[in-house]
Amino acid sequence: MNKRIPITLITGYLGSGKTTLLNQVLKNQKGYKVAVIVNDIGEINIDAELIERGGEVTLAEDNLVALSNGCICCSLKTDLMKQIVQLVKQRRFDYIVIEASGICEPLSIVQTIAMLDGTVEDERLPNICRLDNVVTVVDARRLVDEFLGGRSLIKENIEEDDIESLVIQQIEFCNTIILNKVSDVTEAEKREILSIIRQLQPEAEIIETDYARVEVTKVLNTEKFSLDKVESSSGWKKAFLEEKDHSHEHESQQEEHTHQHRHHHHHHNGETDEYGISTFLYYTRRPFIYEKFEEWINSKWPANIIRSKGMVWFSDEWDNAHIFEQAGKQVNLTPAGLWAAAATKEELEAAMKKYPTIKENWDKTYGDRMIKLVFIGKNMDKVKICKELDACLDN
């Protein structure tokens, strides 16, 4: 019997619904004791905070590991390996789910996990886990709005640093595709999307859904992942292998070109810049004036912001926290319950005891109230965006 701890890797482009899927899984664990590793590209791991706030897993219980300020497919590879080993050694969990950053390449993460699954013959490396499933979440609406219904993913002359290149890799290298937000597109648009996804990845199971609702058995303990099968299942590889007239020399050139590692990092003032995408954190204790913030979103929102996510609050609702999310043209503001500062003295003491970070970050005036927004985009004017957001604050 295989005693190695199974791992599910969740990938997908920014804002596709990875965290929503993760929370769906954690609410319906089917008896598993799941540990979670979350990776985000900014200095502050917003996804980890949102998962923790959802009450599914908590940092206090040591079953949520946040790997921030880098990508687990390159700069944080060693950290990922160490965390997997540490979680296994605790013997408290029987499953690990990894949510990759939206700009991570799945193949590189899989290669890291393979260092711990016996694939690499090295007696210094423990054989402690197995990769069970690589799940890619695809935002149907976003493919229509930003990728020409997916047609831009199959255009000629895609450059190494193009975002299309990253999305293609995420679709190609998986064995389960969750096509999310399907109700937001027409049937004709969906058919085109499915056709293009099938061109890129003919073998993976495609699950159509909204709000990332899927059966947990499609995500956990599927025993579906095979490195050899996934590597040979992409559309380009199948077409290439079926072509009989290629010379060995041409075949070698195609392999080298297609499998070239195309994830580049550049650092500017401590910010991460990958595929031309940079990130920064906007943070303040003061509340937004709702009408001004709404006006900024509607009339001044920079088109080059790809993704934004975090916690906000408003001057006319001191007790209420909200989760703000933007992905492409989609913007959502969701109630996230009360701030701890709105609780009774007894409730607050209990909360601080359970979650020490509340006490550590307490402000004498605002308590735990804060605005914390991560912005991810291309060639963003950070100074201008922050200045405009400051103008939305209550004096």
pLDDT tens-digit readout, 111-128:
889 889 887 777 778 889
pLDDT confidence of residue 273:
55
Query: Of 211-220, 237-246, 332-341, which has the strongest mean pLDDT?
Result: 211-220
pLDDT confidence of residue 136:
97
Strand order in the sheet with 95-99: 64-67, 34-39, 95-99, 5-12, 129-139, 176-180, 205-208
- Total number of residues shown for the chain: 395
Mean pLDDT across the chain, nearest whole number?
A: 81
**Residue ranges of the chain assigned to CATH 3.40.50.300:** 5-233
CATH 2.30.110.10 fits 5-233, yes or no: no
**Residue ranges of the chain assigned to CATH 3.30.1220.10:** 237-241+265-392
CATH class name, domain 237-241+265-392:
alpha beta
Look up the pTM and report it: 0.70
**Cα separation of 93 and 91, whole Å?**
6
pLDDT tens-digit readout, 322-336:
999 887 778 989 998
Q: Which residues, 6 or more positions from 154, have their beta carbon under 8 angstroms from its beta carbon?
A: 196, 199, 200
